[in-house]
Amino acid sequence: MYWQIKNRIMTGGFPAVEIMAPKLMVRFASRIGGSSEPPFDALNLGSGTGDDEKSVLANRKAFLDSCGIAREKLALCGQIHSDKIAVVDAGGFFPRTDGLITTSPGVALGINSADCFPIIIYSPPERVLAALHAGREGARQGIIGAAFEIMTDRFGVDPAATVAMTGPGICGKCYRVDEDIARNFPEETIISIDGFPHLDLRTFCEMELTDAGVSKQSIIHSNVCTCCDSKRCFSYRRDGGITGRHWTIAMIRDR
């Protein structure tokens, strides 16, 4: 992942994606460049976090402007830690979902996160785009597989032709979990540190992607841990729940 600053707003992008899928735009908002006060400093995009809502709205506008996206073109999900996905052809709010799929150029799919993994999947031949919120619960329930079911059944996508990205999220070393949670995940995704299980959710997401038929070399990881990178990222775990949220935006370009 590379970082760039435009109009004071720092965002991250995936250079490999720009080569593999030039019609796709993906931007990840860092915490740098907004107007929120600590502990939401500075580019908090999450509403209902305890931050001043006026700052959140100003930050959202600044971030969307820096990406060249009009507010009415943005589609967001309610993010209820489920495997539910909506197919959309316009901006709006889709409350009981954790994922969005579109074939409409210019419609920006947004995922809100601060440790959970934003997952972007794109099939260049049919121009089908999916954006998913893959937290521990949604990932375990199979939101990645659910996205591929819709993409293949409804749009004729061949998973082997897709590219997938995992955005910034919490790394295995930072993500200690209880034994009963660890038991729900495959052995290769659990790391033991000082005798305590830690979940490598990014590896789990990669396994879900390859199980669905994505080739390993078409999976691009940001390799940024929201918990390790306190300079650029908010982390729910690190900051004890009182923190900001990032948005990841994905859009099929309309020109």
- The residues of the shown chain that bind Zn ion, judged by CB under 5 A, are 171, 174, 225, 227-228
Residues 6+ apart with CB under 8 A from 65: 7
Q: How far is the CB of 174 from Zn ion (least distance, A)?
A: 3
If the CB atoms of residues 91 and 197 are measured against Zn ion, the closer one turns out to be 197
Q: How far is the CB of 63 from Zn ion (least distance, A)?
A: 24
If the CB atoms of residues 144 and 174 are measured against Zn ion, the closer one turns out to be 174
For 179, the token pair is 């034994």
- Alpha-carbon span 222 to 206, nearest angstrom: 12
Q: How far is the CB of 170 from Zn ion (least distance, A)?
A: 6
Polymer length of the chain: 255
- Alpha-carbon span 85 to 150, nearest angstrom: 9
- Residue 208 near residue 139, CB atoms below 8 Å: yes
AA identity, residue 90:
A
- Residue 246 near residue 42, CB atoms below 8 Å: no
If the CB atoms of residues 25 and 233 are measured against Zn ion, the closer one turns out to be 233
- Residue 227 near residue 209, CB atoms below 8 Å: no
Q: How far is the CB of 235 from Zn ion (least distance, A)?
A: 8
229 pairs with which residues across the strands? none
Q: From the CB of residue 173, how many other CB atoms can be counted at a distance below 10 Å?
A: 13
If the CB atoms of residues 150 and 181 are measured against Zn ion, the closer one turns out to be 181
Q: How far is the CB of 242 from Zn ion (least distance, A)?
A: 19
- Alpha-carbon span 55 to 35, nearest angstrom: 6
If the CB atoms of residues 129 and 174 are measured against Zn ion, the closer one turns out to be 174
If the CB atoms of residues 77 and 227 are measured against Zn ion, the closer one turns out to be 227
End-to-end CA distance of the chain: 24
Q: How far is the CB of 28 from Zn ion (least distance, A)?
A: 16
